[in-house]
Chain A
Amino acid sequence: MITHKDPIHILLADDDEDDRNFFSEALAELKMTNKVTLFKDGKELMDYLDNPDIKMPHILFLDLNMPGKTGFDCLKEIRANSRFKELSIAIYSTSSAEKDIEETFVGGANIYIKKPNDFSKLKKVIKDVVNINWQFHSSGLNKETFFFSI
């Protein structure tokens, strides 16, 4: 059981260095204690996750548009493996088209983030996402119907 004292382990895969820095800065300002692991592309992320010895992280922030293995490829691979069924996946993308959002959820994502373009909004979004994810983890809410679009 997760208590508020356990650090939340957050993964982030994004090919843009500036975005990675923004995310880590925003996470550093969270009230919840957290640990972040960064990946610069989909391959690096999947290599990490494929190691059966890792402790399961709580949430993965995944950029949809990465060269090589895209975010959507990673999403499909992760959701095809039942080992990751407790891992929440937050996709972020520049699209806010309903079709893209729907497709991402059908593909097994839990959270869809329309990437905000200013830093203070990004911080707020990340805070909301980590918070809602924590509510799902700590209150036994149904993962099958955990969809959250922001």
Chain B
Amino acid sequence: MKLYIKYDGIMACRVILQEQLEKHQVKYQLLDLGEIEIDEGVTEERFAEVQESLNRYGIYILNNQKSQLIQRIKDAIVEMVYERDKLPSTTISHYLSEKLNFSYGYIANIFSEYTFTSIENFIIIQKIERAKKLIVEEELTLTEISYKLNYSSVAHLSSQFKKVTGLTPSMFKRIIDKRRLLVNQVE
């Protein structure tokens, strides 16, 4: 039997962090997305153990300052796209520089140097990624999805979807449906 599930990745991640840190008896405090404060007294050995068990879940502790900043920028964007029903009322550049405490110029430069894409482009990729997720979940119509993701119209969402993926949302949906059918036949 094949079931389709929906999940909250951010919440799952927080629970995994809590469970693993408690398992290794590390005193911690979960801060904003992607940040934890841990007790200074943790031995190197234990730290390595924690790291290893988190890696199994695809969670990595970042050591390098620049990769930390890149990750914080990505997290801030993902949070903006996924957690807010509406994008911030200020501009995105203002939002990011306030949140990360650096000038937008600095953030934008370091981001494109390390990720081979621009912040603007990354936001679009994330929005389309969320649109895909919502289409697959089948709970909302395309019009509702376009509203939720702050597009001015369903035509605007469709054209950006096509620009990013090369496919129309309906063709995307058809491929997903056919794949599901195929997998179900095999099982």
Residues on A lying within 8 angstroms of B by beta carbon are: 1, 3-4, 31-32, 98, 101-102, 105-106, 108, 112, 131, 134-135, 138-142, 145, 147-150
Contact = CB atoms under 8 A, between A and B. Distances in A.
Contacts of B114: 4
Contacts of A32: 116
A131 B116 contact: yes
A150 B166 contact: yes
B133 A106 contact: no
B116 A112 contact: no
A95 B58 CA distance: 38
Contacts of A112: 166
Interface residues of B, number: 25
B102 interface: no
Given A1-B60, A141-B129, A149-B165, A105 B116 contact: no
Contacts of B179: 105-106, 108
B125 A131 contact: no
Contacts of A4: 114-116
Nearest to A134: B116
Interface string B123-137: 001000100110010
A140 B136 CA distance: 17
B172 interface: yes
B16 interface: no
A108 B58 CA distance: 24
A93 B31 CA distance: 49
Contacts of B171: 98, 102
A147 B171 CA distance: 11
B109 interface: no
